[in-house]
Chain A
Amino acid sequence: MLKLFSTRLPTLFNHPKHPTSILKSLPDRFLNSCLPSGMPRSQKMLSFSTYKEINYGEALDLPPNLKLSIKCKSMIYKAQQESTPPPPTTLDLPMHSMNTGKSNGEVSLEPSIFNHEIRRDIAHTVIKWQLACRRQGSAKTKGISEVRGSGRKVRKQKGGGVARAGHGRPAHWRGGVKAHGPKGNRDWSYKLHKKVRKMGLRVVLSAKLKENKLTVIDTFETESHRTALIAEQLKNLNLDKSTLFVDGKEINDNFALATRNIPGVKAVWGGGANCYDIVKHENLAISKSGLEFLSAKLKIEQS
């Protein structure tokens, strides 16, 4: 159901010339709800004018008597900023080299891995399992033997007109024990079907390809372990922020050392590719040996 709601103050906002002083007096939470998040407040004042530039008639076929609220307009504005380019039609990707930043050749990807149906529920299952397995489970409350207090009988068994009490820390008393509370040794891990885990990887890899966030690099071999040198190379490839690098059987030592200190960048061997990291990092860069490793692991052979 679409909720196209009219604005709360039509005289203020539908009027073409609204004074900015009224805007300045508005509370932050109102502005935050309308405008794209992450914008500094100084910019939010000025951006009201940009909404007029957007042509809403093309995006939505609205009848002339309906008008969009500022929230709707901001959502459209946000969506336009984030709109994804169309997914690649072929499974042949260009292979880049790290030193030059240019394409070296072409690689054809396995359709069973990289053109898998996007099952978001499976991705959710696998990521939830991953995060549960890594839980420490160390939440602890004091048990009856640990909570401070003696075992002295607090008052007489009979004759008080009040409930009987043996010690001063029962669960329903103030300062009392937490009954059946966490004991500091809870294991949150559980087993998930191996085939589901593999399907999760296929789903997430094909999602990255669809969003054009997948790049193939020929090797991660670098001459030195210096971070500064690698950072430049990655910047040329637009892989310096929030990227996951997946190598083959072993991650190249120099590369691992060099990228260790770059925030948002993580370098793993082929088996370290997991759904959570792939979804968390915006970009995904796989080496050629990494592609071989993953295709050997995840390929579905059609009989």
Chain B
Amino acid sequence: FGVKKIQNAATKLSPFKSLVYSLLSRSSSSSHVPLRLNNIAPNPGATSQKRRVGRGPGSGRGKTSKRGMKGTKARQGGSVAIGFEGGQTPIYRRLPKRGFKNGPDESFNIVSVEKLYKFILMGRLDVPSSEETPLRMITLKDLRDAGVVGKIKHGLKLVSGNGSPATKLPESVQVPPIHIEVCSASSSAIEKIESTGGTVTCSHFNKLALRSMLKPQKFQILPKRARPPPKVMPRYLNFEKRGYLSPEVQMRNLKLFNKPTSEALEEDSEEMKE
């Protein structure tokens, strides 16, 4: 069976008895000693004795039990703290402090275009139909409600998913055009979506904006979205990154959706009421 044959030496039979068994068995090839509870044993070398300390001089580990004479280490629970150097100023106190710690990393959660397509084909993510006028964008709230994303901490980045061939959909699959709003998107993700006829808009969400987007029920009046801070402004003015403040993206969105972002404007609500 391709099983490696290992010599089973210890059968706990005396050599004479095993010889007698082998000689008295009718066929010489079957030297099988009956397997009983009193003749099974581990292979020699498989087991070793436990080290027992403090049990007399003959063991070599008696009396002080390999702890030497007195001192902290000889005591029960006797050990020193990490870094302790016997009283000498330790190295972590000899050397000066250096530097500062930058603030916490506020990176975006990631979602891939392949995952979006899968959810759409499964029917778990509803794409707003192109017959509605005006068109509606897929927002972060839609993605969260459908279960595409679990928790959005600081924002969502759209990624193509070309790097993982295992999860790739076959090319014959037909996908509807998607109009989506996220916080940022990679260039290959933008290409992928715009090749089918969709659009990508990258808007800035601070903490309040995220909260009002994802949990509108907590607000009596939905707050307006803040503009991005200066440090981060350039990427939202950039058309290559489909920033929502770039003029090309704003023009495109006004034509398609009648508003630059997914944010509901006061004018819209009044019109709807009428």
Give a binary string over A199-227; 1 marks a CB under 8 Å from any B CB, 0 the rest: 00001100110110000000000000000
Q: Answer yes or no: B89 CB below 8 A from chain A CBs.
A: no
Interface size on B, residues (CB 8 A): 30
Chain A residues with a Cβ under 8 A of chain B: 1-4, 59-60, 72, 75-76, 79-80, 82-87, 111-112, 116-121, 123-125, 127, 203-204, 207-208, 210-211, 276, 279-280, 300, 302
| A2–B8 touching, CB < 8 Å | no
Q: Cβ of A203: which chain B residues have Cβ within 8 Å of it?
A: 35
Which of B24-32, B121-129, B174-182, B225-233 is the contact stretch?
B24-32
Q: Cβ of B10: which chain A residues have Cβ within 8 Å of it?
A: 120-121
| A59–B37 touching, CB < 8 Å | no
Which of A75, A116, A125, A279 is in CB contact (< 8 Å) with B16? Answer: A75
Q: Cβ of A79: which chain B residues have Cβ within 8 Å of it?
A: 17, 20-21, 24
Q: Cβ of A121: which chain B residues have Cβ within 8 Å of it?
A: 6, 8, 10, 40-43, 46
- Helix, strand, loop or mixed for chain B's interface? loop
7 further interface pairs, Cβ-Cβ under 8 Å (given A60-B19, A76-B24): A2-B16, A75-B17, A84-B25, A118-B32, A120-B39, A121-B40, A279-B40
| A279–B37 touching, CB < 8 Å | yes
Q: Which residue of A lies closest to B16 (CB)?
A: A2
| A123–B40 touching, CB < 8 Å | yes
Chain B residues with a Cβ under 8 A of chain A: 1, 3, 5-6, 8, 10-11, 15-17, 19-21, 23-27, 30, 32, 34-37, 39-43, 46
Asked, given contacts A1-B15, A2-B19, whether A207 binds B43 with beta carbons under 8 Å apart, the answer is no
| A127–B25 touching, CB < 8 Å | no
Q: How distant is B178 from chain A, measured CB to nearest CB, in Å?
A: 44
Asked, given contacts A86-B30, A124-B42, A279-B35, whether A80 binds B19 with beta carbons under 8 Å apart, the answer is no
Q: Which residue of A lies closest to B17 (CB)?
A: A75
Q: Which residue of B lies closest to A300 (CB)?
A: B1
Asked, given contacts A86-B27, A118-B8, A118-B35, whether A75 binds B43 with beta carbons under 8 Å apart, the answer is no
Complex CA distance for A86 and B32, rounded to whole angstroms: 9
Q: Cβ of B30: which chain A residues have Cβ within 8 Å of it?
A: 86-87, 210
